[in-house]
Structure 1
Amino acid sequence: MSEISYVRGDATVPSVKGVKVIAHVCNDIGGWGKGFVLALSRRWPEPEAAYRAWHRGRAGNDFGLGAAQFVRVEPYVWVANLVGQRGTRTGSKGVPVRYEAIDASLALLADKAVGLGASVHMPRIGCGLVGGTWSRVEPLVTERLVRRGLSVTVYDYGD
């Protein structure tokens, strides 16, 4: 069975052939403006616009923790908006990351990527600004994506 590949670089520019899905974690309150989403928005306006419209229409759609939205940004590139954090700030209920929501959205991502015959690319989702730890997220990525036979690359930004 394959494993997760770790590389230094920018997850918005995966350098492999074929269909690619770039996955990242979003919050459940419609906020888009810090972290990896800024890199996405610099490359493509569609993921932010789709996310904001999805949130606005949440009364009549599946928007919420554990949901996933797939936005095609180039002929062979999709962005997966995964709702895996409650709000944006650490408060009385702890950090914003919700591992069970990331797990549920990764299952949806796996189905989409398998259907597209795509590889999956991501930063260390659920970590960084939202307070999660990779030691808790990595097993979810392995279970939901790698075990389905998907090629997964995790990007650590930097030189």
Structure 2
Amino acid sequence: MPIAKLTSRDESCDVTIESYAYAYPDADNIHDAAWHRNWVGLHTPDHRITFDDVMLDSLLVAHYIPVFESFVAGDMQEVEFEPTEPYIRLTMTRRDTDGDEVTVKGYVEHPLEGESEELAFTFETSVSNVTRFLEGLQAIADAYPIRDL
């Protein structure tokens, strides 16, 4: 199963998104047919959050791949990754134009015992770790392409 994982430099934090099936395998239109089932994990020194839900879709993954390619190439200084609900947002900012330092500011909102819990987090990573995240998105796109209906 394809996994997009973004880790901090010291590996104390990570955000993991795994697509493992189409959410609506019998869908009769391109939009419903694009949705994936996803396992999502956020691990920080203080938190361990996991959930399983319908979050990514093939159209969104296809949109983000060239965005991350531009970021990794240095053509963009910031990228915001914002899949659909349950809500998660990652904002990655290059700290210098030609270096390897990237700041990740994230936010996750997920249901916990019927209530919505919100968590903001920040960690430092590298362009090479963002490249591995991009490779995971590409693997998800390969495993769950946009279906031609």
- TM-score, structure 1 as length reference: 0.27
Larger Rg: 2
Q: Which has the higher contact order (CA 8 A, sep 6+)?
A: 1
> Which has more strand, going by share of residues?
2
> Which has more helix, going by share of residues?
1
- TM-score, structure 2 as length reference: 0.28
